[in-house]
Chain A
Amino acid sequence: MAPVVGIVANPVSARDIRRVVANATSLQIADRANILLRVLAALRACGVRDVLMMPENGGIRAHVERGLMRARGNGASGGQDIYPALHTVSMPVTGTVADTHRATAEMRRAGVSALVVLGGDGTHRAVAAECGTVPIAGISTGTNNAFPEHREPTITGLATGLAVTGRVPPHIAFAANKRIDVSLDSGATGATVTEMALVDVALVTERYIGARALWRTENFRELYVTFADPEVIGMSAIAGLLEPVGRDESGGLMVRLSPNGDGAGDCRRGITTLNAPIAPGMMARVGVTDWRRMPASVAFVPEVTAGSVALDGERELSFSERDRLSLTLRDDAFRTVNVAAVMRHAGQNRLLTGTPVPVAAAF
């Protein structure tokens, strides 16, 4: 049976206050649909005939269906279907993150071979919470997007197609990823809330969720990252500019931050000032007290006793002195399509040529 690929495209990513406090992008719905059409064409070229998509009322699916209809109508494909058949998960649409959770779980049960995700770090986190062992192929359509790599979506689609059709060995096609599990025991109710982050957990002093995004550096206190990449923006950039930690190495980094980000720092208390890109086009001074490696599978109890927990750059949970918070990094928590490795393998083995060609091309 030909593999089926699942698609989660979030219509509401990239809509927050960072469009005003910074110069974050506003990716229009029609552009998101256009990205999806590029992915679909690449998947079909690899032999994927069916895709299963999350329903949404934000307009992406309607634009995609119009694109499919036009492609069939204009005859450009010479009678060949250049796109896979588009199916939608049968479920009610709430317009919240619950849709992503439910659609991902349904697609996993339906046996999809991979999940192509359009969204920011938050969307990818919601998919990773439910995808189990199904690999994710991420496409950045959000704001900071440390998790999905920036790449032309056609290539992500090609790599996904090559991976799920078995033309690239799994040990090359798929990569293991880390995550940080957050556990919050409520002192008031006794209930435990568990959450996770793919890239970073930041503890900030604001005890309200509000506009969610993080940009007031004076409120930053502690930061835990799965990888510290100096090439990304957002909270992971802070860690990345102190001590890079790769996606593929075990463990992450823990950074203690202080409100004294302005000025030359406080030498007496050993505070360093770091100038970091914390949002698109937004360089900010961050006070750094110290940092150290965060080994996998070891529970960390933060020093901060009240505030909010920001997951992948967005405030999600608030906590008080009565609550107990702990964070644990997990290696090998979920899988992604290793696009770079797949495409390199495809090139080296001429997977997209019509007939086998010798390694040394004939002159």
Chain B
Amino acid sequence: MAQNPFPLGKDELLKAYRTMRTIREFEERLHVDFAKGDIPGFVHLYAGEEACATGIMMHLNDNDRIASTHRGHGHCIAKGVDVHAMMAEIYGRSTGACRGKGGSMHIADLSKGMMGANGILGAGAPLICGAALAAKVRGDRGVGITFVGDGASNQGTFLESLNLAAVWNLPVVFVVENNGYAESTAMEWAVSCDSYVDRATGFGMPGVTVDGTDFFAVYEAAGEIIRRARDGGGPALLECNMVRFYGHFEGDAQTYRAKGELEAIRASRDCLTILSERVVEAGVIGRDELQAIDREVNALIEDATRAAKAAPLPAPEDLLRDVYVAY
């Protein structure tokens, strides 16, 4: 094998690939099963955006907190939430991460530092400011990462959180996952500033834009930003320009896209293809090793789906369980 020129060791590269592949297969399976009518509620798929969640989460540990969005499956998987518990949650089963009462948009696992997907746009940002304040007060070098789409970046909660994080110098990273569309509205129609870096600058923090389809670009930039936050350097904004392979929600006819747009981005901007070609071409990882991971991931998703479908629904008496939590 050739000398490894990458900023991660071979095991870490394989882990990154496995995470991205797991997210992709998870979402592809949901795409198929949702169309069959098997899944309650709405699902918003992260397929195409895997490099962003994975490149960032590779720098975190369970002590670090993240606050996610309505499109949260990828963040959950990359943060280490159990895939079986996630699938059961999405199927509304009592074995789910939230005992089947949350569904796709409310998957949480505090033991993994995952404070929850969130059906309310922009609601993760204030949560993560609180978590980051706690980490700062405790002095445990924990960081908080919040994700927001280009649409939700206009929410008052998000803008207030940028201000709060700046004035309190909180260890927060605001990640704008810019996939170009707020539901169906293209960014240039809806975002007053022309660049998210300008927006960060206005709040007195640095902002960086990276190609969110390049795992290494995200990994490298996120590493520097997270290290800075951990060391007390304060908040920063990271804009990842990326693409989503499916609609805003499952069932979205995507009439707002240009003809051929989806085919073009799938052909040229698939972050999984970009990563695997890079590591195989460098001679660090064999294609057979990636294919072995693909088979294991397929088996995992198949098993998680089978188990979720076989699991019981919550009982009526579960309705009032976990409504209040004592700290």
Contacts and interface: CB of A to CB of B under 8 A. Distances in A.
Do the two chains bind?
yes
Interface string A43-74: 00000000000000111101100000000000
Interface string A318-352: 10110000000000000000000000000000000
B208 A20 contact: yes
B302 to A, nearest CB: 33
A58 B195 contact: yes
B230 to A, nearest CB: 13
Interface in B131-165: none
Nearest to B187: A57
Interface string A1-42: 000000000011001110111000010111000000000000
Given A21-B224, A212-B217, A320-B282, A15 B195 contact: yes
A209 B194 contact: no
Interface stretch (B2-10, B289-297, B317-325): B2-10
A20 B198 CA distance: 14
A11 B194 contact: yes
Given A206-B5, A209-B216, A209-B217, A19 B194 contact: no
Contacts, number: 98
Interface string B84-118: 00000000000000000000000000000000000
A307 interface: yes
B5 A16 contact: no
A27 B293 CA distance: 44
A320 B284 CA distance: 12
B4 to A, nearest CB: 9
A28 B201 contact: yes
Nearest to B233: A20
B225 interface: yes
Interface string B210-235: 10001011011100110010000000
A210 interface: yes
The dominant DSSP class at the A interface is: loop
Interface residues of B, number: 33
B206 A320 contact: no
Given A21-B224, A58-B195, A207-B282, A26 B214 contact: no
Given A20-B206, A208-B7, A58 B194 contact: yes
A30 B197 CA distance: 12
B13 to A, nearest CB: 11
A307 B5 contact: yes
Interface string A163-178: 0000000000000000
Contacts of B219: 210
A16 B236 CA distance: 13
Given A208-B6, A306-B3, A11 B195 contact: yes
Nearest to B225: A20
A129 to B, nearest CB: 21
Contacts of A63: 194
B109 to A, nearest CB: 29
A57 B186 CA distance: 11
Given A12-B209, A16-B208, A206-B5, A211 B221 contact: yes
A88 interface: no
Contacts of A321: 2
A307 B5 CA distance: 7
A207 B5 CA distance: 5
Contacts of B201: 26, 28
Interface of A: 11-12, 15-17, 19-21, 26, 28-30, 57-60, 62-63, 188, 205-212, 306-307, 318, 320-321
Given A15-B197, A206-B7, A320-B283, 5 more contacts: A12-B209, A15-B209, A16-B208, A208-B216, A208-B282
- The 6 A-B residue pairs with the shortest CB-CB distance, nearest first, are A59-B194, A207-B5, A29-B194, A15-B209, A210-B216, A211-B220
